Amino acid sequence: MFSRDRWQEIFQTIGKNKLRTFLSGFTVALGIFIFTVLYGMGNGLKNSFNEFFMGEATNTFSINPGRTSEPYKGFKKGRAIEFRNDDIDDIKKDFALYLDEITPVISFSATARYRGESNSYSINAIAPPYGDMQKTIIMKGRYVNAHDMAGFAKNIVIGRLVEVDLFGHSESAVGKYLDVGGVMYRVVGVFQDDDGDNEERMIYMPYTTRQMLDQGTDKINEIMLTYNTDIGYAGAMAFDLSLQKYLKAKHNIAPDDQNAIYLRNMADIVQRNMMFANILQLVVVFVGIGTLIAGVIGISNIMVFVVKERTKELGIRKALGATPASVIGLVLQESIFITTIAGYVGLVLGMGILSLMGDRFKEDYFISNPGVGLNIVIMATLILVFFGVLAGYVPARKAANVKPIVALRDE
């Protein structure tokens, strides 16, 4: 392997056969290039899944009322289900072992005005835990707190873009009063959200204040909760089923009615989508490895031709005393050398393409920051060496078994 004479011979052979060497290397470089790009794009797809689903707490349930799709216990089909404050209290009491935080949500829209500026915004009336569930980042001031709830305070927290729309870039909204739907509210905080512009054009207020303004009603549109992460995925699924069964029994809903209550389990959604992303990446890797193998088959065919071309030379070597092992070693060393160098060229080009891609395909193809980790680079190296040996061994062994007298007669 470290024989200076052998390396000189290999380089002389490569220099005399530039086209053949180029074709040999090109097939391998192309294979590893395609493999690297495909694997990196698979990672980019997983990055997008992570970014999309990790924008909110993943141990979250979102429960919305619907309409019954079948009659039950004397109630007719099509009955509208309504959640109220006592649903929150009952869940706190009966699922204390599972529960982490819980909040009602009352959603509506209204026009917000400040001096000469106005715009229509989506508004959520919530309790303090909602901020943690949405991973809201407070930029200025504070979030809605328990004191606001208890005092029915007309305090609001606005998104960063709401402040820009109504107050401009130079004036701070904190401490100012905003007309929202004809009611004056004091802005106590400004938040930002990594989920994008829509989230940053939201307004949050205490749900108790909204219920008081709605003539003292206790209706709520949605229940959001987080559970203790120690229960794991299996525990989350058990909690999901238990909670649905509990709410259906409380609101006189048929156990198999799928339309009366909608429970969105983020843990289940993330699990399913990450499984899909992993399967898709496996398919991509399978295609990439297939392309790599096709390239190695190409170099194997070329090595067969090379050995055939050098049959007389190898016969002379054997006649002068060369052992079969030395003949095999010479061919293998040349094959491994070409495969490794060409493979790394393909690997570097592939990683360069992935680096240039960045977030360019995020919006259209859901691929974010594609890349290949160090472990994949090491694995690719081992694959290259293995396939380099495989590509050269079969023709080398055949050449080593040829009798010198037969080799010398070869034309």
219-220/155-159 β-pairing: unpaired
Whether 28 and 119 share a structural domain: no
> Would you say the pTM of this structure is higher than 0.85?
no
Whether 98 and 237 share a structural domain: yes
Whether 101 and 136 share a structural domain: yes
| Final residue belonging to a domain, choices 218, 247, 264 | 264
pLDDT tens per residue across all 411 residues of the chain: 556 767 777 777 777 777 777 877 787 788 788 888 888 887 887 777 666 655 556 789 999 999 999 999 999 999 999 999 999 999 999 999 899 999 999 999 999 999 989 999 999 999 999 998 888 999 999 999 999 999 999 999 999 999 999 999 889 999 999 999 999 999 999 999 877 788 999 999 999 999 999 988 999 999 999 998 888 888 889 999 999 999 999 999 999 999 999 999 887 777 777 777 778 777 877 877 777 677 667 767 776 776 766 666 766 776 777 777 777 777 777 777 887 888 888 888 888 888 888 777 776 667 777 888 777 777 776 776 777 677 677 777 776 676 666 555 655
Whether 304 and 386 share a structural domain: yes
Whether 100 and 49 share a structural domain: no
Per the structure, the count of domains in the chain is 2
Whether 106 and 235 share a structural domain: yes
Whether 291 and 353 share a structural domain: yes
Instruction: Report how far residue 37's alpha carbon sits from residue 354's, in angstroms, rounded to the nearest whole number.
Output: 6
Whether 119 and 184 share a structural domain: yes
| Final residue belonging to a domain, choices 214, 248, 264 | 264
Q: What is the pLDDT of residue 104?
A: 96
Domain region containing 346: 4-53+271-408
Whether 344 and 378 share a structural domain: yes
Whether residue 40 contacts residue 372, with contact meaning beta carbons closer than 8 Å, is answered with: yes
Give the pair of three-digit tokens for residue 297: 């088959």
For residue 152, the one-letter residue type is F
Whether 98 and 207 share a structural domain: yes
Phi, psi of 219, deg, nearest 5: -75, 145
Whether 225 and 311 share a structural domain: no
Whether residue 104 contacts residue 63, with contact meaning beta carbons closer than 8 Å, is answered with: no
Q: Which of 339, 342, 323, 341 is nearest to 397 (CA)?
A: 323
| Final residue belonging to a domain, choices 202, 237, 264 | 264
Phi, psi of 32, deg, nearest 5: -70, -30
Whether 154 and 277 share a structural domain: no
